[in-house]
Amino acid sequence: MCKAYLNIVCVLFLVAALRKGASKMFKSIEELNAAVATHKRNHKLNKTEIAVLDLLARYSCKDIGKSWLAKGKIAELVGKSRRTVIRACNRLETLGIIRQYERKRETGDRRQTSNLIVIQPAADTPEMSHQEAGSRNKNKINT
């Protein structure tokens, strides 16, 4: 009884989170590609983060903007370690480029399975990361 209740709560939470962002979802692959290009232009990303973002966009076409790739599979396709991909995804999430939703197996042991990764629509105005803002403030002279 408790496991069934937990399953229902997890599913309802995920559905609510996705519906909350449903108004911001992409209507076409062209919109997705434009958002990815804007994110790359507005944020200072390293090569691995760009490769991960491009791969997520490539695998987010069936359900536009959403990818169910496992971190291990992303690592294999990008040619990096799983840990490096996890760091890249966490930074992309910190910058507001993606959102990661934890998923659990519905049957059996309820261990974690691949995350749902959702690419977020881009704002037209560039946003500075905390690192960029800090480096720009260092250059200011207080008079």
Identify which has the larger pLDDT, 75 or 115: 75
Task: Enter the pTM of the model.
Answer: 0.69
Nearest by Cα to 120 from 46, 44, 24, 28:
24
pLDDT tens-digit readout, 16-70:
554 444 446 889 999 999 999 999 999 999 999 999 999 999 999 889 999 999 9
Question: What's the mean pLDDT in 109-120?
Answer: 85
Q: What is the mean pLDDT of the chain?
A: 78
